[in-house]
Amino acid sequence: MRQIITNITNLFIKDENNSLESQFPIRFKLLLIISFVLLFSVSGVIFLASYFFRKDSEVRVKENNIKINDILALKVQSDLETIRQDVHITASAIIRNPKISSVVAKELFEADPSFILIGAYGPGMSPQFETYNEDFLQNYDYNKSEIHNLMGTIKDKVKKAYSGSTVIWNASPYFRHPMLCLAFPLSEKKDTNTILVTLVKLDRLLSAFQTSGTVETFLIGDDGSVLAHPDAKIVLSGSKLNDLPIVEKMKKSTVDNGQYRYENKDGIYYLGSFKKLAIGGVGVISQVMEDKVFEEVNNIQKRNVYLLIVSLALAFIVVYIFAKSLSTPILLLVNAARKIQAGQYHLDLVSTSRDEIGVLTNSFVSMSRGLEEREKLKDSFGKFVNTDIAELAAKGKLSIGGERKNCAVFFSDIRSFTSISEKLEPEDVVEFLNQYMSEMVTCVKETGGIVDKFIGDAIMATWGALRSSGNDSLDAVEASVRMRERLLIFNKGRGSVKKPIIRIGCGINTGNVIAGQIGSSDKMEYTVIGDTVNLASRVESLNKESGTDILISENTYEDVKGKFNTVSMGEIKVKGKAKAQKVYAVLGRKGDPNCPKNLQELRKLVGIPTPDSKKSK
């Protein structure tokens, strides 16, 4: 039963070096599992929510960029077409009637002060006419010669206009104001000898390209130059953005619009889109910094992470309290199991719940009571039956029937017990026998032997019947020597009629026996039988005639001759044996300074008279 309890407790605890330690407490398992589930689920929700919110924000930004591009493209194209139309009408009127050039030009400059120059040029940029906005030149201190010289240096920039294309480029670096140069053929023929060139202030375009929220928009020429930008300084510097990925993608694109995520030279990611115009190869680009787009997404994600931390902390506290309420009764059961394994079967456990743990606690208490009663029964039973035999019987390991074994068999007897008992009351006889037997049985148990039976004042014991130490003869002789030593102490203060001095004789023989449960169906006992047992009894009976207290057979002598000092008593005829048997008297342990040197010292030590020589022989 104890083994069963040990197996049960090992489900909860680890047995190592007779100490039980919890390998992984349940409360920590609960904390770990629930915290992991909560962390996984909440973080999963946060991740998915953030992911879809991010995707939704990205789609909205891209849609917004496309809408802005479409609106700006329509406005820019409308403005450029208006400029072309105004310039074409004015230039055509001047060419038809050069006399009214000043009047026609003045009307245009008054109607739209953003025009600075209108001119018609033949091959090689030879001017057919040039008309200037006098008010602008005077107000901003510009000379006609500066502008005229500029027109002579832009042959390479506007030469595409002679092939029928419209050329738009940023002339701002040559002025103190943002300027746009527009060149296009006078007629719609593919090849023409006359082109129209105009310089226009960019005020009307710049007003449209102002930063709106997080979106930044600008106008790019076909050479990558910035034509319009929220920052006028960029326009005045004549910067080119050919190294910007969105510009490069727009120039290479075969369609008029597109979207692109890219990284600039500073390592900043943008979401950008472009829209090409049908005039001059220019395009509108809108871009927004990715960090600004997802700023609110990141803020929400941070708040969710903070919420997760708070939730985990609260859950940790709640789970810890719950786990403690669950593990506390389990720990009490563990401590109770430790007590049971240590042999303490009385438990003060009380069930505090009606769940499975409460049921287990009640069952555990009931089991401990059963074990306590069983232990009491075993202790009581052990006073009548050898404890080892009772233990094996309780475990069901004691086989029914006989088994051949080699063991040492011991007999002892009190000398002159009949005459001693005649002088004492029966109660006194029982009392001194119990005292004497307690001392002798202790010596048997200390050396690993078991008491087979008590036969009046005699003791029969065996070594090796149940278990063997390897040299059962040695253990049996050692027990006999200890009995001699205990008896010397026991006899101190004795010598009266009520307390007579006790002398004993011990006989030991080693050999094969039949060991097992012998008896009837109503009563059985574990014992050994065989010739070895009979010879041990005969050897013990020779002590009286030999004047000795411990005699051993030849078989036993061969096993212990190197450990004990002995004296050969010769070959003695034993009843039941046709051949005389060699027996040996045991003087004591080898190396013991108090060991008697001969039989005379032994007899003097234990108080045995020297036997009659004739009778002894």
For residue 129, the model assigns a pLDDT of 87
Is pLDDT of 211 > 70?
Answer: no
For residue 554, the model assigns a pLDDT of 92
CA-nearest of 560, 554, 559, 610 to 584 is: 554
Provide mean pLDDT across the span 238-248. Answer: 87
The CA-atom distances, in angstroms, between 239 and each of 219, 223, 243, 404 are 12, 11, 11, 113
Residue 99 structure tokens: 């006399």
Single out the residue in 379, 411, 440 at which a domain terminates: 379
Residue 531 structure tokens: 């010739």
Strands (E), 254-343: 257-263, 269-276, 283-289
Length of the chain: 617
> Angle formed by the axes of helices 2-9 and 356-382, to 10°?
150
For residue 431, the model assigns a pLDDT of 87
Number of domains in the chain: 3
CA–CA dist 55, 61 (Å, integer)? 10
Say if residues 166 and 84 touch (Cβ distance below 8 Å). yes
Exposed, middle or buried by CB within 10 Å (0-12, 13-18, 19+), for 305?
middle
Provide mean pLDDT across the span 98-122. Answer: 86
Q: What is the CATH number of the domain that holds 416?
A: 3.30.70.1230
Angle at 285 between CA 282 and CA 291, to 5 degrees: 165
Helix (H, G, I), strand (E, B) or coil at 294: coil
Domain annotation covers residue 323: yes
Does one domain contain both 518 and 577? yes
For residue 93, the model assigns a pLDDT of 87
- Which is higher by pLDDT, 193 or 524? 193
Domain annotation covers residue 394: no
Secondary structure, 3-state, 321-349:
HHHHHHHHHHHHHHHHHHHHHCCCCCCCC
Q: What are phi and psi of 311, to 5 degrees?
A: -65, -40
Domain annotation covers residue 387: no
Does one domain contain both 364 and 267? no
CA–CA dist 572, 574 (Å, integer)? 6
Q: What is the pLDDT of residues 8-67, one digit of tens each?
A: 444 434 433 444 455 566 667 777 777 778 777 877 887 787 778 777 877 888 888 888
Hey, how many other C-beta atoms are within 10 angstroms of the C-beta on 205?
23
Task: Kindly indicate the confidence band of residue 556, based on its pLDDT and cuts at 50, 70 and 90.
Answer: very high
Highest mean pLDDT among 105-109, 299-303, 477-481: 477-481
Q: What is the CATH number of the domain that holds 108?
A: 3.30.450.20
Is pLDDT of 166 > 50?
Answer: yes
Secondary structure, 3-state, 520-578:
CCCCEEEEEECHHHHHHHHHHHCHHHHCCCEEEEHHHHHHHCCCEEEEEEEEECCCCCC
Single out the residue in 295, 322, 340 at which a domain terminates: 295
Provide mean pLDDT across the span 587-605. Answer: 91
- Which is higher by pLDDT, 322 or 88? 88
Does one domain contain both 373 and 439? no
Q: What are phi and psi of 131, to 5 degrees?
A: -125, 140
- Which is higher by pLDDT, 142 or 294? 142
Domain annotation covers residue 43: no
CA–CA dist 68, 74 (Å, integer)? 10
Helix (H, G, I), strand (E, B) or coil at 287: strand
For residue 499, the model assigns a pLDDT of 84
DSSP string, 64-132: HHHHHHHHHHHHHHHHHHHHHHHHHHHHHHHHH-GGGHHHHHHHHHHH-TTEEEEEEE-GGG-EEEEEE
CA–CA dist 456, 413 (Å, integer)? 9
Domain annotation covers residue 46: no
CA–CA dist 338, 349 (Å, integer)? 13
- By DSSP bridging, strand 564-572 and strand 524-529 are unpaired
CA-nearest of 213, 182, 179 to 195 is: 182
Single out the residue in 319, 345, 379 at which a domain terminates: 379
Task: Kindly indicate the confidence band of residue 237, based on its pLDDT and cuts at 50, 70 and 90.
Answer: confident
Does one domain contain both 274 and 315? no
DSSP string, 359-406: HHHHHHHHHHHHHHHHHHHHHHHHTTS-HHHHHHHHHT---SSEEEEE
Does one domain contain both 123 and 215? yes
- Structural domain of residue 307, as residue ranges? 2-34+303-379
- Which is higher by pLDDT, 294 or 196? 196
Q: How much is the mean pLDDT over the chain?
A: 82
Maximum alpha-carbon separation in the chain = 184
Contacts with 587 (C-beta within 8 Å, 6 or more apart), sequence order: 564, 565, 566, 567, 595, 596, 597, 598, 599, 601, 602
The dihedral built from the CA positions of residue 64, 66, 67 and 69, taken in this order, carries a sign that is: positive
Residue 327 structure tokens: 């593990």
Does one domain contain both 66 and 209? yes
Provide mean pLDDT across the span 501-507. Answer: 92
Domain annotation covers residue 116: yes
Contacts with 385 (C-beta within 8 Å, 6 or more apart), sequence order: 393, 525, 526
Does one domain contain both 329 and 243? no
Domain annotation covers residue 97: yes
- Which is higher by pLDDT, 514 or 519? 514
The CA-atom distances, in angstroms, between 119 and each of 114, 185, 194 are 15, 12, 10
Percentages of the chain per state (helix, strand, coil), in multiples of 5? 50, 25, 25
Q: What is the pLDDT of residues 119-152, one digit of tens each?
A: 898 888 888 888 988 888 888 888 888 888 888 7
For residue 516, the model assigns a pLDDT of 84
For residue 587, the model assigns a pLDDT of 93
Does one domain contain both 273 and 364? no
For residue 16, the model assigns a pLDDT of 38
Does one domain contain both 230 and 307? no
CA–CA dist 82, 79 (Å, integer)? 5
Amino acid at 454: F
Does one domain contain both 373 and 515? no
Does one domain contain both 6 and 75? no
Does one domain contain both 336 and 416? no
Q: Say what the pTM is.
A: 0.49
Q: What is the pLDDT of residues 396-455, one digit of tens each?
A: 666 666 788 999 999 999 988 888 888 888 888 888 888 889 999 999 999 999 998 888
DSSP string, 134-174: HHHHHHTT--HHHHHHHHHT-HHHHGGGGGT--EEEE-GGG
Is pLDDT of 517 > 60?
Answer: yes
Domain annotation covers residue 385: no
222 Rama sector, left if φ>0, alpha if ψ -120 to 50, beta otherwise? alpha
Task: Kindly indicate the confidence band of residue 238, based on its pLDDT and cuts at 50, 70 and 90.
Answer: confident
CA–CA dist 451, 401 (Å, integer)? 19
Rounded (10°) CA dihedral 423, 426, 428, 434: 120
Helix (H, G, I), strand (E, B) or coil at 284: strand
- By mean pLDDT, which of 110-114, 354-358, 361-365, 473-477 is the weakest? 354-358
